[in-house]
Every structure is written in structure tokens, then in C-alpha cells.
Copies of this chain bind each other. A is one copy, B any other.
Amino acid sequence: MNAKISRYLQDARPPTPCLIVDVDAVEEGYIQLRDLLPEARIFYAVKANPLAPVVKRLNKLGSSFDTASRQEIDLCLKQGAKADRISFGNTIKKAADIAYAYEKGVRLFAFDSEAELRKLAQAAPGAKVFCRVLMECEGAEWPLSRKFGCSPKMAADLMVQARELGLDAYGLSFHVGSQQTDLSQWDTALGRVSSLFSILRERDVDLRMVNLGGGFPAQYRSDVPPLEAYARTVMAAVRRHFGNRIPELIVEPGRSLVGDAGVIQTEVVLISDKGDGDGRRWVYLDIGKFSGLAETMDESIKYRLRTPHDGGRTGPVVLAGPTCDSADILYEKTRYELPLDLAIGDKVEILTTGAYTCTYSSVGFNGFEPLKTICI
């Protein structure tokens, strides 16, 4: 566990539940990725953690920003980011929000459908646009389904249309799925993208950019390949498929930059058994699915836990949150073990919770306040 956060928790003893984010660790993550992928421009996926000190620090380091909404654009601008380093990466935008972004100077937009392209042509004339291509994403712990992207064939047609509509047909994007651990997915995806580049060249559209999306992992319970392996794999695939015509590259890391930089501290509210023959203890924490741990939905993301009794004998548990909602269970199917000495009132740290936690927190389900966050 991050030593600076550990020290902070010991000294400051903040009320639980709370999320502590080490902004220096975010910086280290940024520098590591920049050094490993010098060929790519980094667009931080603001949605992963929009805390102002995080955005501000990344801006100072020269990062660009991938935003999902008008509000995220405003946030980046407020933290000093220049509009030419902001991408409006959501493929689902109201026309008014596109116009707002354009008016603020944003000139880079994602889309994946004809209707969205027409909105862009209207509200952001001449802007650079990139089309998101639908990819299978086997191997991702938080898969991306078919919500985003269109078929490669449709992407090609839409890029031709983009040019006809007076937009700058800039490039293609894809996303292999968040927390993707199967490195071969990048090769498959880049192969498809490179054939689209060729097909479009024959139709007189010269694409210049590939947006590799995110998908770099954070350290949850299962082992993940080191970031070096990701960088190496991605660049090898880029070279294999693009040869000596390597396009501009964009990456949109979120989880991998801020995930490991955050720790949630929570308190054990209750430990019980049900008298129903199930040998597992039920351990109820003061944080749950609706106050920051939404990514435990379907038990997808499996966080690592730290307790004051680590090292002692353990037994199986079901982990749940504090609300009266029966869906507010963190892990029931997934085997989790916690020390037998664990007691009500103990503090438990949930590691690698810097990404996709605080903003998922509900405004007040069951009356519980949103997750408090502290940047150090």
C-alpha cells in the first residue's frame, strides 16, 4: 500500500468512509506512461477521477484531456488546460453541448454514428473528428459491450461522409475494454484499424491519427502484466500494421493513472452470521455499491483489502455495504477471506480505488453522504 497514504491515515485519522488520493503517485504514473510510450499523446480520461488537484497536476505535466461532458470541459479549462488539448470523447452528445465545446475552442470530437456526425458538422464546423470502431473485447474485467463504436465498414463510410460534410476526417479510435489483460487484443484491433486506413486511402481520405483508447490496468486482485509489457505490445502492433507510415497516436488512460494512487478507508459496521448453515461471516462496511464502489457491480472489479489483522488466520466472508438495499453486496460469489480476528469498528483499507469511485457515489441513497475525498 502507498506509504504516503498510509502515513496520512495514521496521522490525520479522517472520518470514514473516505478516499485518499496521492497526487504525486498520479504524477509518477503519468511520467512512467509518457516515458514508455513517447510516440503517443496522453489524453487523461477525466471521468476516471475528476478531482481538481489531479487535473491540475496532469495539466502542469503537459497532459491532454479526454472529456465526457460540458462539465468536464469546464473543469479542465478551469484547471488551466488549453482547449486545443481537450478532446470531447463521448460519442453521445447533445448538439448544444457540442456547440458549447466548440465555442470554448475544442476542436477534437469523437463520434460513431451518422446522426452524431451531422450534429458535429452543424455545431462544430471544420473540427477534427475521429470515429470509434466496434471491437470485441475479450479479456477485459470491465468489458465495453456494444454501446460504443460502429462496424468497420460503417466507420469507413462515415469518414468519407465526414469529409463531404466539411469536417476534418482525422482518425479512428477503438477501445479494447477497461482493465484489459489479454495483450493480443491490441494487435487484433490495430490490424483492423490499419486496413481501414488503407481502404480509406483508396477513397481519398487520408487519416492521420489512431486513438488507442485506454485499457491499461490498475492493480486489483489478479495479477496484471506490467505497463512495460502493454507499451511494448502496443508499439510492436503499431509497427507491424503501419510499417513506416506510423500515424499520430493518442492514448486515453484513466484507471492506470489514478487507480493505484487512491485508497478508500472504511469501517466495519457489523459482522454477523445468518444461522443458515452458510459458514461465511457477513462483514458489513460503511461503504457500498451506492457510495463509491459501483464497479463491484456483478462483482466485476475485485479490490484488494487491508485490515489491522493481516497475517493472522482467515476465514471466508460475504462483503456488503451499509444500505437497506439488498443489491448492495460487494462480493458474495467471489471468494474473499478476511482475518478471523476482524472486529466491529476496525478500519479496512480498499486499495486501488483512485479510479471510478468517488463520482459514482450516490447523492444520498439511504441518507448516506457521498464519499468524501482528500487529495494529498
| B47 and A365 form a contact (CB under 8 A) | yes
Are B274's CB and A146's CB within 8 A? yes
With A and B bound together, what is the CA distance between A66 and B65 in angstroms?
45
**Chain B hits for A369, CB < 8 A:** 71
What is the CA–CA distance of A172 and B140 in the complex, to the nearest angstrom?
Answer: 45
Q: Which of B67, B70, B114, B365 contacts A272 (CB 8 A)?
A: B114
Residues of B within 8 A of A147 (CB): 282, 320, 326, 328-329
What is the CA–CA distance of A53 and B275 in the complex, to the nearest angstrom? Answer: 41
Q: How large is the interface on A (under 10, 10 to 19, 20 to 34, 35 or more residues)?
A: 35 or more
**Pair B50/A115 contact, Cβ less than 8 Å:** no
In the complex, how many angstroms separate the beta carbon of A270 from the nearest chain B beta carbon?
5
A290 contact set on B, CB distance < 8 A: 294, 360
* A200, CB-defined interface residue at 8 Å: no
Bound-state Cα–Cα, A323 to B71, Å? 12
Nearest chain B CB to A22 CB, angstrom units:
21
A: residues with CB less than 8 A from B are 45-47, 50, 67-72, 75, 89-95, 112-116, 119, 134, 142-151, 153-155, 267, 269-276, 278, 282, 284, 286, 290, 294, 297-298, 320, 322-329, 332, 344-345, 358-370
Q: Please determine whether A47 and B145 come into contact, CB atoms closer than 8 angstroms.
A: no
Asked if A367 and B272 make an inter-chain contact with CB atoms under 8 angstroms apart, the answer reads: no
> Complex formed: what's the CA distance from A163 to B92 in Å?
59
Q: Give the complex CA separation of A155 and B320 in angstroms.
A: 21
- Minimum CB–CB distance from A324 to chain B (whole Å) comes to 5
Q: CB-CB < 8 A to A366: which residues of B?
A: 47, 68-69, 72, 90, 359
Residues of chain B within 8 A (CB-CB) of A72 are 366-367
Is A344 a contact of B69 with CB atoms below 8 Å? no
Q: Which residues of B contact A326 (CB under 8 A)?
A: 142-145, 147-148
Q: Is the CB of B324 within 8 A of A269?
A: no
A367 touches B146 (CB 8 A): no
28 chain-A/chain-B pairs, Cβ below 8 angstroms = A47-B366, A50-B367, A68-B323, A71-B367, A71-B369, A89-B324, A92-B269, A92-B320, A94-B269, A94-B286, A113-B272, A116-B270, A116-B272, A119-B344, A134-B274, A142-B327, A145-B332, A146-B276, A148-B326, A149-B274, A150-B274, A150-B275, A155-B275, A290-B294, A359-B362, A359-B363, A359-B366, A360-B362
Residues of B within 8 A of A284 (CB): 92
> Of B119, B282, B297, B365, which contacts A359 at CB under 8 A?
B365
List chain B residues, Cβ under 8 A from A275: 150-151, 153-155
* Most B CB within 10 A of own CB, among A148, A154, A322, A326: A326
Closest to A267 in B: B94
